[in-house]
Chain A
Amino acid sequence: MSWLRTLETGLRGILGHRLRSVLTTLGILFGVAAVICTVGIGTASSDSVNARIASLGTNLLTITPGSTRTGGVFGGAGTASTLTMDDANGLSSHDNAPDVAAVAPVVQRSEPMVSVASNWTAQVQGSSTGWLTANARSVDQGAFYTAKDVSSHALKIVLGSTTATNLGVAVGDSITVNKIPFTVIGILNTVGGQGFQNGDDLGVVPITSAHDVLVGGDPNSVQRILLSAGSSDTVGSAYQEADQLLLNTHGAATSGTPDFTIQAQSSFLSTAQSVTTTLTILLASVAAISLLVGGIGVMNIMLVSVTERTNEIGLRKALGATPGDLLRQFLVEAATLSFVGGLLGVGAGLLAGVLIPHFTTIGVTITATPVLIAVVVAAGVGLIFGVYPAARAARLAPIEALRAQ
């Protein structure tokens, strides 16, 4: 029997059993579409989690006073205020620390703020102009304070969006912070929760003004210093440079007991990445289950239809079909159904990938690999379970196959 005639016979078989053909195609279609959708949604979620993590500033290093490295005993970070503006200035020098891109010394205190409309208490940080870069933030409205504002001890404040909303103020309004009048000159971009603090509920003022009227105390001392490396690749070297510089200037290089701690946000990042990995595994499991369910559906339809068709197989054998003829016929049928089902499944999956984000807030990111895997597995299941039982039936003696009712 020629391939052309086999093809014709196979296609007639498909058209002759419309319900079975439609059910098989649907089984493969939904299997493939489900995998494309679940993986697409999962990839989008995973991407969004990664983007949120990246927005935390993975290049960020935080230097806090006190050491956690003393002889295996937890020294308690921040037990002594040993960081100074001089440290911050030293780190700002490109010669000392070439991989440090921005430096922001920070003092902070929770302060009551009062506007014409309302009052609200939030963290107020005093810092340098490097604050924006070191925190990977930007200003949405107005502007950040300038180096001149810092040197002139200007009473200007930049607010987080939540704080601005709660106070009911806009750029140019006046508020009092700890009863001292400040002018709102900018509103920060909205970032949502960052680690364990709300990045949108705060105020930022020049560190000189903060020392003057808010925090008080030694104008040279700072609570912590934020460093930003040029990129995530240089975080390591920036860490080394900062560590070496501070060990030297704090005279601890010889004693070996540093009075500061440098923490990298990237350690938080690695935790977050393990979360993402878990998410990916969960996703792959859901996809595998979708495929399994779809595959079992296709398998059942194929098995049932072959049992139904044992009679036909017996008749065709009696009329002179060889086992090879029958095998090729069922191969063509199964391959066609699998191919059409897989193709429609990809179409349906892609369509859902467009429609879901359009009508809901769920994001869908479609990549090639899951589409390929879904099509190969679904079509493979269709092929195997379309051909294998038929091959077995084709080996039956024709009388036995004819007697099957």
Chain B
Amino acid sequence: MVVASAARVAAVADAAAGADRAVDAMLGREVLRLQSVSKVYGSGDAAVLALDDVSLSVQPGEFVAVMGPSGSGKSTLMNILGCLDTPTSGTYHFGGDDVSTMSERELAHVRNRRIGFVFQQFHLLQSMTAWRNVELPLLYRTTHDRREQAMRALEQVGLSNRVDHHPNQLSGGQQQRVAVARALVTNPDLLLADEPTGNLDSASSRDVLALLKEINAAGRTIVMITHEHDVAAVARRVLEMSDGRLREGELVT
């Protein structure tokens, strides 16, 4: 009974979150806002300024590409945006909440509920089948129909016929699609992709980018880090990073 009612409460909460998102979109409330964020690694003479006074606002439904050469600070930006790291100075609001002051536990909660990650290295657990990998984030929240949700997410990425395959039985493109399904299964406010095509051949890259575009078209906010122009071209807004500074690039229409 307790489990069932807890699940019902969670379902209601999820529905409420969805409704909130719709309201946010209507009101033009941002998904995230960085204000004068700086990130310094190390200290003293060895200190490196990875992010230098970065401000950024992302609206619901946007598809933002962050471009820049390696060492420009885009990975640091990705880590800050993904609540995997905290800024040295400045504030970061995610969906209206100030995450720069949150505890590790609260950050874990934000990552679990509101952010979906897609990594360059896929980061699938080799010992698990595709659907078990997709199910992973659901283990850290109260959900009673984990298998059904994982199956739905895999269907969304077109892998319904590969649910019981292990990662080593899948091609690179298929593995990355499993990773995308894992990012989507929690119905996050933001999908954060770090060089999602970095480890893929051109055919698989096109495949995954088309999938991301489709997901964005369905209303999901995406921030993608890349250093390739043709990859950035799928985004509707391109930002360029160099030496830790962020500036608005030309808008692709």
Contacts and interface: CB of A to CB of B under 8 A. Distances in A.
Interface of A: 1, 5, 9, 12-13, 15-17, 311-312, 314-323, 325, 397-399, 402
Nearest to A325: B140
Shortest 7 CB-CB contacts between residues of A and residues of B: A320-B112, A16-B127, A319-B137, A320-B140, A322-B108, A315-B123, A320-B111
B85 interface: yes
B136 A316 contact: yes
Nearest to B136: A319
28 contacts: A1-B139, A1-B140, A5-B139, A9-B139, A12-B127, A15-B127, A16-B125, A16-B128, A17-B127, A311-B123, A312-B125, A315-B125, A315-B136, A316-B136, A318-B84, A318-B111, A318-B117, A318-B123, A319-B111, A319-B117, A319-B182, A320-B108, A322-B104, A322-B140, A397-B85, A399-B79, A399-B85, A402-B123
Nearest to B137: A319
Contacts of B125: 16, 312, 315
Nearest to B75: A399
A258 B137 CA distance: 94
A320 B119 contact: no
Interface in B115-164: 117, 119, 123, 125, 127-128, 132, 136-137, 139-141
B139 A318 contact: no
Nearest to B124: A315
B95 interface: no
A402 B119 contact: yes
A12 B136 CA distance: 12
A320 B109 contact: yes
Contacts of B112: 319-321
B13 to A, nearest CB: 15
A291 B146 CA distance: 43
Nearest to B106: A322
Contacts of A399: 79, 84-85
Q: Pick from B104, B111, B117, B139 the residue with the most CB of A within 10 Å.
A: B139
B87 interface: no
Nearest to B142: A2
Nearest to A321: B140
Interface in B59-109: 79, 82, 84-85, 104-105, 108-109
A9 B139 CA distance: 8
B178 to A, nearest CB: 13
A325 B136 CA distance: 13
B88 to A, nearest CB: 14
A397 B84 contact: yes
Contacts of B79: 399
Interface residues of B, number: 24
A236 B111 CA distance: 82
B113 interface: yes
Contact of B137 (A16, A320, A398): A320
Contacts of B140: 1, 316, 319-322, 325
B104 A323 contact: yes
A319 B82 CA distance: 10
A208 B84 CA distance: 104
B109 to A, nearest CB: 7
Contacts of B139: 1, 5, 9, 321
A9 B136 CA distance: 9
A318 B136 contact: no
A320 B104 CA distance: 10
A15 B140 CA distance: 20
Nearest to B76: A399
Contacts of A325: 140
B104 A12 contact: no
B105 A322 contact: yes
Contacts of B132: 12
B141 to A, nearest CB: 7
A399 B136 CA distance: 18
Nearest to A13: B127
A372 to B, nearest CB: 34
A314 B119 CA distance: 12
A9 B111 CA distance: 20
Contacts of A318: 82, 84, 111, 117, 123
Name, among B79, B108, B123, the residue most crowded by chain A CB atoms within 10 Å (CB to CB): B108
Chain A CB count within 10 A is highest, among B84, B85, B105, for B84
Contacts of B141: 320
Contacts of B85: 397, 399
B180 to A, nearest CB: 14
A401 to B, nearest CB: 10
A311 B128 CA distance: 14
A1 B105 CA distance: 13
A397 B80 CA distance: 12
B108 A317 contact: yes
Contacts of A317: 108, 111
Contacts of B108: 317, 320-322
Contacts of A323: 104
A96 B136 CA distance: 90
A13 B132 CA distance: 12
A9 B128 CA distance: 11
A315 B79 CA distance: 13
A15 B141 CA distance: 23
Contacts of A402: 119, 123
B128 A12 contact: yes
Contacts of A16: 125, 127-128
